[in-house]
Amino acid sequence: MLSAGHGSPLLYSILHLTGYDISMEDLKNYRQLGSKAHGHPEVGTAGIEATTGPLGQGFAMAVGMAMAEAHMGAVYNREGYPVIDHNTYVICGDGDLMEGISYEAASLAGHLGLGKLIVLYDSNDVCLDGELRHSFTEDIGKRFEAQGWHYLRVDDGNDITSIGEVINLAKQESLRPSLIEIKTVIGYGSPNKGGTNAAHGAPLGKKEALLAKKNYGWNYEPFDIPEEVVNHFQASREIGEQREAEWNKLFASYKEAYPELAKQLEATILGELPDGWDADLPEYKPGDPDIATREASGAALNAIAKNLPTLFGGSADLAASNKTKLNGIDRFNKENCAGRNVWFGIREHAMGAIVNGLSLHGGIRPFGATFFVFSDYLRPTFRLAAMMKQPVLYVFTHDSIAVGEDGPTHQPVEHLASLRAIPGLTVIRPADACETIEAYRYAMENKEGPTALILSRQILPLLTFKKAKEGLSKGGYILSDPPHGEKLQVLMIATGSEVSLAMEAQKVLAEKEIPSRVVSMPSWEIFEKQPESYQEYVLPSEIKTRVSIEMGSPMGWARYAGKQSKVIGVCTYGDSGPGYRIVEENGYNVNNIVSFIEKKLG
């Protein structure tokens, strides 16, 4: 894992030399359009494990990978058959260790005793703006030891023998992750820029590059690879091929000895859902008690966990509120890595990156949960999950100003709009328990990227029933039309708890002989994937009188409501008080909706 992703030229060069699909032309066109050698490493190029660059993200994703290795080893390995048995390595720099996410992730890694995680810290005492001492003077060794890590140091980054010896020492430590601080000189060999921030990000320049090569005794033209280098890396490839052949032989024997486990492992690595994974998902029918969508979410998670042994995750110290505890399943810890309930602690940012790492490793279907307002802490990890097309699941509860007494600090306002702005992230805000179950079905079958479920704390009436099954998979659908086929005059489009409000408004409008349609639109992203003909069917363009109803920022709703219609949203922060009072004060009531429609229709 190259967490210090700005060092990508080294990674691309090694991948090229070891036979991965990065050509000499890609290297020559580094950071140019059409080249696979992007400015930072990105998943999709062979040999790259994770998309890195934003500092600290790779470090935290590696913690997720190490957790996946520990868990899968505990689940699948049998005596004499260590089919899951590898180290996770990270190359990081000062910048990674300054980022807050690295503190969070290192704290959890030490707590969990992830002994197969080895971090090589390129410690060169220089950052982009100049000498590191002006901003970062902590004792890294003491910090990591305090977090439960094994700390080692190499004083000369050019002493390859010592580095190898220390890595072997780290591999022998099974109870603690290891940090190896390796003292290096940035721009080593450059007589004028070496050891300074001038060598940090910009090219040395032709003259300085020639002087550095002279110092190295390197007498070759650019991109001219000596035969001895080719031979060295060919030998490395052959060693890798031999080890892969040995593992394949081991796995063949494992398949004979443990056929069911082997079959399960192969399927999980491919990300396949087993037959019957959704067999126990609850079905709600008229007459069932109304419940909050967070409660329905908890029921769905536990139903899936029964039949999907790869479901693995937890909450940032809010499992009781998020309803994300997997009942009857052990906690993942250093004493029992086979457990599937993860206590992430109050480490939201690290949690987001860790679930990315779990997913990238393969064999795990991860989820992470917290209050919706705290999704801000995970934002950089959303972007990377979407870029990498990782099918991770986020469970966000306490979805609106209806949270009430906790006040504006805990009441999401701008969060729906900001999540919808992230390309590749599917956001689903279900109207009731029925839509929540279907949201899980969609999320688990979505292999194209991450999914965020936005769920209520308050109880919501059951509304959608069988319509949810097909409707949610289309992102938006007709929930209720005029009962006698009257010609439509009004469209009301709503999400989440506000769908029930629209249904109440429809009744009042019917009494006033104003025929209206209620559209539940739990996911813009899914709706936008539907054919234009379906979108027109649900939201006929001839109907100009429209109202969108959502307890969040109105940003973006004009695309569905139209500029001449009413967008009922929240344009300020909430308040502290009973949730129903705050909702009412912000205009979420039947009278407000009906009044606008009557005025609009004249």
pLDDT digits (tens, 9 = 90+) for 265-282: 999 999 999 999 999 999
Q: Is 527 helix (H, G, I), strand (E, B) or coil?
A: helix
pTM listed for this prediction? 0.96
Q: Is the pLDDT of residue 512 over 80?
A: yes
Segment 322-375, tens digit of pLDDT: 999 999 999 999 999 999 999 999 999 999 999 999 999 999 999 999 999 999
Q: In whole angstroms, give the CA distance from residue 368 to residue 348.
A: 9
What confidence score (pLDDT) does residue 563 get? 77
Q: State both tokens at 459.
A: 């109880």
Q: State both tokens at 397.
A: 């509860």
Beta bridge partners of 343: 315
From the number of C-beta atoms within 10 Å of its C-beta (0-12, 13-18, 19+), residue 282 rates as: middle
Cα distances from 586 to residues 65, 552, 560, 579, 591, in angstroms, run 45, 11, 21, 11, 12
With cut-offs at 50, 70 and 90, classify the pLDDT of residue 562: confident
Q: Is 453 helix (H, G, I), strand (E, B) or coil?
A: strand
Structure-derived torsion over alpha carbons of residues 582, 585, 591, 596, reported in degrees to the nearest 10: -120
Segment 443-487, tens digit of pLDDT: 999 999 999 999 999 999 999 999 999 999 999 999 999 988 899
Phi, psi of 349 (to 5 degrees): -65, -45
- The three state secondary structure string of 223-264 is CCCCHHHHHHHHHHHHHHHHHHHHHHHHHHHHHHHCHHHHHH
Beta bridge partners of 568: 549
Q: Is the pLDDT of residue 505 over 90?
A: yes
Q: Is 472 helix (H, G, I), strand (E, B) or coil?
A: helix
- Distance, first Cα to last Cα, the chain: 64
Which string of DSSP letters, residue by residue, matches 91-127? EEEHHHHHSHHHHHHHHHHHHHT-TTEEEEEEE-SEE
Segment 203-220, tens digit of pLDDT: 899 999 999 999 999 999
Report the relative pairing of strands 365-371 and 311-315 from DSSP bridges. Answer: parallel
What confidence score (pLDDT) does residue 200 get? 87
Choosing from 348, 438, 498, 525, the catalytic residue is 348
What confidence score (pLDDT) does residue 423 get? 98
Residues 6+ apart with CB under 8 A from 7: 91, 93, 122
- Stretch 250-264: mean pLDDT: 97
Average pLDDT along the chain? 96
Segment 185-199, tens digit of pLDDT: 999 999 999 999 999
Segment 408-454, tens digit of pLDDT: 999 999 999 999 999 999 999 999 999 999 999 999 999 999 999 99
Inter-axis angle of helices 227-257 and 8-17, to 10 degrees?
80
Segment 62-88, tens digit of pLDDT: 999 999 999 999 999 999 999 999 999
Phi, psi of 582 (to 5 degrees): -65, -40
What confidence score (pLDDT) does residue 564 get? 76
Residue that the structure tokens 């490395």 belong to: 236
Active site residue 348: yes
CA angle 392, 394, 400 (to 5 degrees): 160
Under 8 Å between Cβ of 177 and 150: yes
Under 8 Å between Cβ of 58 and 106: no
Which string of DSSP letters, residue by residue, matches 547-600? EEE-SS--TTTHHHH-TTSEEE---S---SS-HHHHHHHTT-SHHHHHHHHHHH
Q: Which of 441, 431, 434 lies closest to 400, judged by CA?
A: 431
Q: State both tokens at 581.
A: 């009072």
Domains parsed from the chain with CATH numbers: 5-238 (3.40.50.970), 291-460 (3.40.50.970), 472-601 (3.40.50.920)
What confidence score (pLDDT) does residue 537 get? 98
- Stretch 250-277: mean pLDDT: 96
Q: Is the pLDDT of residue 286 over 80?
A: yes
What confidence score (pLDDT) does residue 287 get? 96
Q: Is the pLDDT of residue 201 over 80?
A: no
Segment 18-30, tens digit of pLDDT: 999 999 999 999 9
Q: Is 494 helix (H, G, I), strand (E, B) or coil?
A: strand
What confidence score (pLDDT) does residue 197 get? 93
